[in-house]
Structure 1
Amino acid sequence: MAQSRLEKIGTIFTRVQGLLRGGAMKTEDKPIWYDVYAAFPPKLEPKFDRPAPEIPVRKIFYAEDVVRAKLHKENRPQETISLFDHRRSTQSQQFVHIYQGLKAQGALDEQRIYETALDLLAEQRQQARLEATPEESLPEQDAESKTQLLSDFKEAVVSQQTTSSPPSPAPKGKKEANVGINIDSLFKD
């Protein structure tokens, strides 16, 4: 039998090696990485009990990250984001772009730049809404077309009822044979 499959015993390489030696795994089924690992083994074997190196994690902050965090903390942009749509930028991306443009001008302090960028973003969103809705509202339908639509709907309902057989009404108070729940008992208080 091959070696133990417990992750705390040995490494993945030694377990695959044991499976190959024991015949539990065919040579054509061995993983692609096996030959590379055998040719170029790591300096330190990746074992379960090896302590993690004490390397300090560097803090990486970009200037736009701080601005975006402040925007999301104070304003909470309400939008639906599609990860498949690469053409449209999100509200936070638009805000950061406006903020960086205002900061490049250098005439205002940080708080004034933030407030101005919020106002400009609100104006952009308002203009986008106005462009999305048609300028002229749809003309009201006259009474004749409304009655025609209503009569067409009624005809469709009648034709649908005549083509399908109506269900036979169940006697009141009796439980249907194919339903396991008595509806009358559900709403008793």
Structure 2
Amino acid sequence: MAGSRLEKIGTIYTRVSGLIQSGALNWQDRPLWFDIYKAFPPKEEPQFDRPVPNMKLKKIFYEEDRIRAIFHRNNKQIGTINLNSDQESLTQKFINVYSQLENKYSADASEEHIYKEAIDILNRDREVSQENDSVSEEEPISLSSAFKEAQNKHLVQSEIKVSVKDIFKD
């Protein structure tokens, strides 16, 4: 068969409840959402042929989105972001510095001037942190340099000659 067109017949809830009633699906094996849907059914039954409501969507736009766009437009490769880390991302640091400078200069300075000064401050902070730490976790890692480093380590390890006979000698 090419595929089923059962999505046009009933809703997912009616199909699952039909499977339970017929015995094709055990009550214990019902989906997690089934009880919630049964307790809180939607006001309008979801069907594939229901017309889309004509609603005007609200534009959600934050001031920091403009700053983030400026940063990412000019800096395409900023490295990876560790979501488990408590440290601020490079983008968030830029947003903080840019906002502080924007408040400091108010309407006197241009957007480009504030951007350049914020980048200079971030670069100085990065240089200071690199002087303090020999290896910086915030520095973006190039995939090609990581690959070359791994190859170099492999070459060094492959030069070590180990004989199996030597391992099992008494």
* Counterpart Cα distance in 2 of 1:101 and 1:69: 17
TM-score, normalised relative to structure 1: 0.62
Q: Corresponding residue for 2:115? A: 114
Tell me how many residue pairs correspond in the alignment.
139
What are the superposed Cα offsets for residues 4-61 of structure 1, whole Å, 9 maximum, x if unpaired?
Answer: 8822211011112211222222333333443443344322101111122222222212
**Amino acid in structure 2 at the alignment position of 1:97:** N
Unpaired runs of 5+ residues, structure 2, are 136-156
SS of residue paired to 1:7: helix
Counterparts in 2 of 1:35 and 1:5: CA distance versus 1, 3 Å: farther
Counterparts in 2 of 1:8 and 1:163: CA distance versus 1, 3 Å: farther
Q: Corresponding residue for 1:129? A: 130
Counterparts in 2 of 1:12 and 1:117: CA distance versus 1, 3 Å: same
What are the superposed Cα offsets for residues 94-131 of structure 1, whole Å, 9 maximum, x if unpaired?
Answer: 11111111122235423322221111111111112222
Q: Corresponding residue for 1:9? A: 9
* Counterpart Cα distance in 2 of 1:161 and 1:41: 70
Unpaired runs of 5+ residues, structure 1, are 135-152, 165-189
TM-score, normalised relative to structure 2: 0.68
**Amino acid in structure 2 at the alignment position of 1:131:** N
Q: Corresponding residue for 1:95? A: 94
Q: Which has the higher contact order (CA 8 A, sep 6+)?
A: 2
Q: Which has the larger radius of gyration?
A: 1
Q: Corresponding residue for 2:163? A: 160
Tell me how large the CA RMSD over aligned residues is: 2.7
Q: Contact 1:20–1:27 (CA<8 Å) still a contact in 2?
A: yes
Instruction: Percent identity, please.
Output: 41
> More deviation in 18-27 or 115-124?
18-27
Q: Corresponding residue for 1:178? A: none
**Amino acid in structure 2 at the alignment position of 1:90:** S
